[in-house]
Amino acid sequence: MSCFWLKWSFIALFAVTLVSSRPTHVYRTIYVDKLGQGNFSTIQSAIDSIPAKNTRWICISVMAGDYKEQVKIPEGKSFIYLKGDAKKRTSIVWGSTGSPFTSPTFSSLADNIIVKRMTFWNSYNYPPKDGSTVTQAIAAVISGDKSAFYQCSFLGLQDTLLDARGRHYFKACNIVGAFDFIFGAGQSIYQGCNISVINGGIDNRLAGFITAQGRQSPNDTNGFVFKECNIMGTRQAYLGRAWGEYARVIYFNSSFQASIVPQGWDAWVATGHE
Q: Which residues pair with 177 in a beta bridge?
A: 197
First to last CA, the chain: 18
Which residue in 222, 218, 220, 146 sits closest to 182, CA to CA? 222
Can you say how many angstroms the Cα of residue 191 is from the centroid of all Cα atoms in its chain? 12
Distance between CA atoms of 222 and 118, rounded to whole angstroms? 25
Which residue in 218, 209, 221 sits closest to 258, CA to CA? 209
Whether residue 59 contacts residue 30, with contact meaning beta carbons closer than 8 Å, is answered with yes
**159 labelled catalytic:** yes
Catalytic one of 33, 111, 130, 180: 180
List Cβ neighbours of 17 (8 Å cut-off, separation of 6 or more).
Answer: none
Whether residue 147 contacts residue 77, with contact meaning beta carbons closer than 8 Å, is answered with no
Distance between CA atoms of 154 and 194, rounded to whole angstroms? 11
Extended beta strands in 42-185, E state: 58-62, 65-67, 71-73, 80-84, 90-94, 106-108, 113-116, 119-122, 140-142, 147-150, 153-155, 161-163, 167-171, 174-177, 179-184
Amino acid at 198: I
Peptide bond into 127 cis (omega under 30): yes
CA dihedral in degrees (151, 214, 4, 175; nearest 10)?
A: 20
Catalytic one of 66, 159, 163, 203: 159
**85 labelled catalytic:** no
* Residue positions annotated with a catalytic role: 159, 180
